[in-house]
């Protein structure tokens, strides 16, 4: 069984990417990053997802991207937007996927794995530059240039199986594969119990996806905002 490293955030997309990788027959080694984000609800979710899926190994690496800041997800002085805005939102974390994929690449080399999975999406997403197909293709090329395995003739493959799917299509795939979305957390501003705010960009995209897919939304919302989180 070929090995693969999968970036597991604890959100809906990465949980679905994991299920797809396992369906394809990969022995999955899940990697989650504690990068100084606003809350740890997604990290807790990643542990539930990894355990439920029965991955070969789940590793959590600590980073301090909050020392850099520049994002509403890592800087407490920058508020998480509660309404849609123009351009790339302040929830963009500078170079996040480049850092994450670099760590996944390093672990893949150690494991002797040539495949890396990431649950990025470029359809129903916030416009982050490091979620685009051209970015994934460029990083795959970089992986061949920057590693011992690459220069010795091996080829790394960066799989982004969700990149051209709508959120509804992602959810339907997860349903087909038996993903329990109640285990996932997507909210940028979840409370201490992991309950979603229902107002941020991630919550809006997630709620709309369940609505469009015709699938009941298992998201736990903070009580005072539960009504506003539901899509008509």
Nearest Cα neighbor of 11 from 194, 193, 135 is 194
DSSP class per residue in 182-231: GG----TT--TT--B-S-SHHHHHHHHHHHHHT----PPBPGGGHHHHS-
User: Is residue 117 within 8 Å of 4, Cβ to Cβ?
Assistant: yes
Q: How many CB atoms lie within 10 A of CB 8?
A: 31
Q: pLDDT at position 228, please?
A: 45
Instruction: Tell whether domain 3-184 is in CATH 3.40.50.1370.
Output: no
Q: Report the helix count and the strand count for the chain, using DSSP H and E.
A: 8, 5
Q: pLDDT at position 2, please?
A: 98
Mean pLDDT of 6-18: 97
**Mind listing the pLDDT tens digit for each residue in 188-209?**
999 988 999 999 999 999 999 9
Asked whether the whole model's pTM tops 0.85, one would answer: yes
pLDDT higher than 60, residue 227 = no
**Mind listing the pLDDT tens digit for each residue in 25-69?**
999 999 999 999 989 999 999 999 999 999 999 999 999 999 999
- Residue 27 pairs in a beta bridge with 3
H-type alpha helices, 72-222: 96-111, 133-146, 148-151, 167-177, 201-213
User: Is residue 100 within 8 Å of 7, Cβ to Cβ?
Assistant: yes
Q: pLDDT at position 68, please?
A: 94
Q: pLDDT at position 230, please?
A: 46
129, with CB counted inside 10 A (0-12, 13-18, 19+), is: exposed
pLDDT higher than 70, residue 139 = yes
């Amino acid at each position: 069984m070929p090995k693969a490293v999968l970036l597991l955030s604890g959100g809906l997309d990465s949980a679905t990417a994991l299920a797809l990788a396992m369906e394809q027959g990969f022995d999955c080694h899940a990697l989650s990053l504690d990068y100084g984000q606003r809350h740890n609800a997604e990290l807790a979710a990643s542990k539930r997802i990894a355990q439920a899926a029965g991955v070969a190994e789940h590793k959590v690496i600590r980073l301090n991207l909050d020392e850099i800041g520049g994002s509403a997800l890592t800087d407490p002085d920058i508020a998480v937007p509660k309404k849609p805005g123009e351009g790339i939102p302040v929830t963009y974390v500078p170079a996040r996927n480049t850092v994450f994929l670099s760590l996944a690449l390093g672990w893949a080399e150690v494991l002797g794995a040539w495949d890396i999975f990431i649950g990025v999406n470029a359809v129903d997403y916030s416009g982050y530059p490091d979620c685009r197909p051209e970015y994934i293709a460029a990083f795959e090329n970089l992986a061949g240039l920057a590693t011992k395995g690459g220069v010795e003739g091996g080829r790394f493959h960066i799989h982004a199986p969700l990149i051209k799917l709508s959120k509804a299509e992602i959810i339907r795939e997860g349903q087909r594969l038996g993903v329990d979305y109640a285990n996932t957390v997507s909210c940028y501003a979840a409370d201490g119990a992991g309950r979603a705010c229902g107002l941020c960009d991630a919550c809006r995209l997630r709620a709309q996806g369940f609505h469009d897919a015709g699938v009941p939304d298992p998201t736990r919302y903070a009580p005072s905002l539960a009504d506003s989180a539901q899509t008509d």
